[in-house]
Amino acid sequence: MPSKLEYKLGESLDTDGLKLMRGGEEITTGFICDPCVLTEVGTQQITVRYGRAATSFQITVKEESNDASPENGDTDTTDGGEQDQSGDAAPKMVIVIIVIVTVCVVLSAGIAIVVIKKRQ
């Protein structure tokens, strides 16, 4: 299992510490994890594939807490002390998710190319 097993919503999977063994040899490249962007809160099963072999492990995804406070000047508040939801946080989150998905696709394509080259 990897070192990190708890994530915030929208984070990318971190495979540092993940050790895969096949036939007595440690596999360090050429494997694919799914999902690699964590978009659901709760316990998620991550599937790791290497060629035709597959295994899995579980992680926990929590909603991102809002640590900003009015004293820092980070947020606007209404009379009731509630945060003003009219900001542009949603578009920023969409951009972050698009960037993360793009990185995962590029990494997966690069891993697939390495595996194909090794087979030739």
| pLDDT tens digit sequence for 92-111 | 665 666 666 666 655 655 55
Q: Evaluate whether residue 99 is within a structural domain.
A: yes
Q: Evaluate whether residue 77 is within a structural domain.
A: no
Q: Evaluate whether residue 85 is within a structural domain.
A: no
| pLDDT tens digit sequence for 37-79 | 999 999 999 999 998 889 999 999 998 776 554 444 444 444 4
Helices (H), 37-88: none
Burial 105-118 (b: 16+ CB within 10 A, else e): eeeeeebeeeeeee
Q: Evaluate whether residue 109 is within a structural domain.
A: yes
Q: Evaluate whether residue 47 is within a structural domain.
A: yes
* pLDDT at 113 (0 to 100): 58
Structural domain including 11 reads 6-65+90-119
* pLDDT at 119 (0 to 100): 61
**What is the tally of structural domains in the chain?**
1
**Residue pair 90/35 in contact by the 8 Å Cβ criterion:** no
Phi-psi region of 103 (alpha: psi -120 to 50; beta: other; left: phi over 0): alpha
Q: Evaluate whether residue 95 is within a structural domain.
A: yes
Q: Evaluate whether residue 58 is within a structural domain.
A: yes
| pLDDT tens digit sequence for 74-96 | 444 444 444 444 455 555 665 66
Q: Evaluate whether residue 73 is within a structural domain.
A: no
pTM: 0.53
